[in-house]
Structure 1
Amino acid sequence: MLVVLIGADTSSSCAAALSGTGVQGAPGASIDGLSEAQLQLARNGVAIGIQRGEPEQVILAELVAQATESTLRNLANPAVPESLRYSNDGIGHDGDSVGPHQLRVSVWGSVGIATLMNPIYQINWFYDRADMITGRDRMSPADLAQAVEVAAVNAYAGQLTLARGLYAQFAHLAPGSMPAAQAGQPASGCGTNGSGAPLSAGAGGFGAAIIAAAQKWIGTPYVWGGGDQNGPTGGGFDCSGLTLYALYQASGGRIRLAHYTQAQQDDPAAQVILFEQRQPGDLIFFTSPGQSSSHHVVIYYGRNENGQDLVLHAPQSGQSVIVAPLWAGDRLDVRRFSLPAEPASAEGKQL
């Protein structure tokens, strides 16, 4: 459950709206448990609603829908491989649903995956649908969210406390602080902040999905033997527990790795890659001099602005999952996994 802690904030501009928020103990308002990316999606839910002149109850409905459908995340989906080519906040597995409102590609995909992966489009989609519902202003936020999303179960009331806190945080946004909407274009709120943008050619779609699955656990403690395909066990992950989780989640359950570094390195699906051909999402295995079995595995994260190689991994006891510079000293072996061709079968909500 997400706990909401709201402080006073009278910011009126998009630029200042996130100032002092988050979970790092910064002064000012905070919403415990939400990342900056989640706050940005919530801010746009409020900002676009204000820009469109929507009443408070309708904006609350949009917020509870986002929180329930995706936990305020712009989700890609391995069942829709094209979605993995766009920046996202994580991986979902609900049928062929993508984005913060979990729109089904088979139903709403005529606009193209690039549009569906744009959270600004999905927020406007919700308001467009809400505006078509007779008597919407007399409906509770949860019932309006249900009327728009048409989920199998109306679970939206459970996020109303969070939605009210988010609305209070961002309700002071002034429409004049937002980019002006172009003729015929939807309201843009405070902008996308990069979410939903095409990934660079250097970051393959499946590699990006592997990184997205693992990086949401940054800060989780290292626990020897910890982690399985569903998440942390015993309170955390070890190195191979994190990688088996990331590949299982990114592949929609189609890649199941052993919980042992050398077994992962030797997996029949692993492609041997020269170190100089490494790409984000590749696994790098560390073998000590004179040894025949690897003792550690990391996910290659890419390079920083200084050209330094970065890796995402669960380091050792007393530390937590982290992105850190790649180090030397051991033999490094690179392996690449590809998304299996067969789509995973799953059932999603009916829209």
Structure 2
Amino acid sequence: MDSTSKTITATAISLPIALLLLPLVVLIGAEPATSCATPLAAGAAVSGSTGQTVAGLSESQLRLARDGVAIGKQRGLGKSVIIAELAAAATESSFRNLANPSVPESLTYSNDGLGTNHDSVGPHQMRASVWGSVGIATLMNPTYQINWFYDRAQELGSAAEAMSPAELAQEIERSAPNAYAGQLELARQLYGVFADIEVGTTSRTQAATSAHGCGSGSGTPLSAAEASEFGRAVIEYAARWIGTPYVWGGGDTSGPTSGGFDCSGLTLYAVYHASGGQIRLPHYTQAQQDHPTAQVIPFAQRAPGDLIFFTTPGDGDSHHVGVYYGRDEQARDLLLHAPQTGQTVTITPLSAWEGERMDVRRYASTPPGGARA
């Protein structure tokens, strides 16, 4: 999120940002959702006081949309302003609290996926370089970002209520022209679903932290096992080359060679720089897998920044390697890697290698025994 201008871009990992791709169904006659305690089942139909039902959104997406309505109502804001917030969050992040490899610290907080739009994080894609003075813990808090939007709306005074929701979202987010109109129907449906929610109220002049909504459950610190500093660094160094061509034999510790990377060239670069130059892996998958700095990790204990090696059944040596990138909002495992000739460094669901043996390795700046690589 830029305070002056920003172009809406899809994330490099091709996650389903556009909610237009999600099925939306309007039904009649379901029971209303009346409180924060009402369960929100993933993929289920959720109906509100207007009789509208939205299907196809995950539980975490619905929680963020519900918080947008609940916080707006707590602050005493009008329907048009709340719909503007919903349209903005739908467009910016598809109601996801996104971390960003360009802001490594954001990876240490629970999130709903990863984005690569500059240094933008969170449901409103606020840029860390612009709004980061509050600290990344605050910036990764969805409640803070929702209140941030409403703070900007209140600063506009009566002008905010006079604007259409799309105009207000544009005035606050400063994005591409008419960027938010495409999500207005979804925003109106979601407002209808949660319009009857029972929440306490706060004064319009109270601090934003007074309005907590229902609590999205996202943005809390992850444990060290879930997001190590070294693992975040491996992801950061590999992710900066997303879009770079695959070149067989390409890549060394300085970056692309002959115009690109192959799979082991990308991983040796990322591990070398994440370790501050202490670990120099060979340019061959099996040799990287067997390197003395590599710790054998059970697949069930994989964590972002680990390397995953792939071996075809019946073969002795691995033929491919990539960086484990974590999971998307659909709980799919993702791999950051250099695929093959004609493709570029990208992120792919791990299911693409179903049927192959997957070996996980974790590297440390100080190898076992204390010897340097």
Same fold (TM over 0.5): yes
Q: Which residue of 2 aligns with 1:23?
A: 43
Q: Shift of the alpha carbon at 1:27?
A: 10
Q: Shift of the alpha carbon at 1:80?
A: 1.5
SS of equivalent residue, structure 1 residue 274: strand
Give TM-score, length-normalised by structure 2: 0.62
C-alpha distance in structure 2 between counterparts of 1:142 and 1:257, whole Å: 38
Greater C-alpha Rg: 2
Question: 1:165–1:207: structure 2 CA closer, same or farther, 3 Å change rule?
Answer: farther
C-alpha distance in structure 2 between counterparts of 1:64 and 1:249, whole Å: 33
Q: 1:98–1:104: 8 Å Cα contact kept in structure 2?
A: yes
Q: Which residue of 2 aligns with 1:275?
A: 296
Q: 2:44–2:56: 8 Å Cα contact kept in structure 1?
A: no
Q: Shift of the alpha carbon at 1:291?
A: 2.9
Letter in 1 for 2:35: S
C-alpha distance in structure 1 between counterparts of 2:231 and 2:54, whole Å: 28
SS of equivalent residue, structure 2 residue 187: helix
C-alpha distance in structure 1 between counterparts of 2:123 and 2:24, whole Å: 20
Question: 1:170–1:204: structure 2 CA closer, same or farther, 3 Å change rule?
Answer: same
Kindly indicate whether residue 132 of structure 2 is the aligned counterpart of residue 109 of structure 1: yes
SS of equivalent residue, structure 2 residue 54: coil
- Cα deviation 1:254-276 (Å, max 9, x = unaligned): 5969699xx63575335652114
1:189 equivalent among 213, 216, 228: 213
Q: Where in structure 2 are the equivalents of 1:132-171 lying within 5 Å? A: 132-134=155-157, 135-171=159-195
Q: Which residue of 1 aligns with 2:80?
A: 57
Identical aligned pairs, as a percentage? 48
C-alpha distance in structure 1 between counterparts of 2:138 and 2:179, whole Å: 27
Letter in 1 for 2:33: S
Unmatched 5+ residue regions in structure 1?
A: 211-245, 303-309, 315-319, 339-351
RMSD: 4.2
Q: 1:46–1:171: 8 Å Cα contact kept in structure 2?
A: yes
C-alpha distance in structure 2 between counterparts of 1:94 and 1:138, whole Å: 31
C-alpha distance in structure 2 between counterparts of 1:196 and 1:86, whole Å: 5
Letter in 2 for 1:117: M
SS of equivalent residue, structure 2 residue 196: coil
Q: Which residue of 2 aligns with 1:11?
A: 33
Kindly indicate whether residue 309 of structure 2 is the aligned counterpart of residue 285 of structure 1: yes
Kindly indicate whether residue 100 of structure 2 is the aligned counterpart of residue 100 of structure 1: no
Q: Shift of the alpha carbon at 1:30?
A: 4.8
Q: Which residue of 2 aligns with 1:251?
A: 239
Runs of 4+ in 1 over 4 A off after TM superposition: 24-30, 205-210, 246-250, 254-260, 276-279, 295-302, 320-323, 335-338
Q: Shift of the alpha carbon at 1:34?
A: 1.7
Q: Which residue of 1 aligns with 2:370?
A: none
C-alpha distance in structure 2 between counterparts of 1:336 and 1:248, whole Å: 15
C-alpha distance in structure 2 between counterparts of 1:192 and 1:150, whole Å: 25
Q: Where in structure 2 are the equivalents of 1:218-237 lying within 5 Å? A: none
Give TM-score, length-normalised by structure 1: 0.65
C-alpha distance in structure 2 between counterparts of 1:124 and 1:27, whole Å: 25
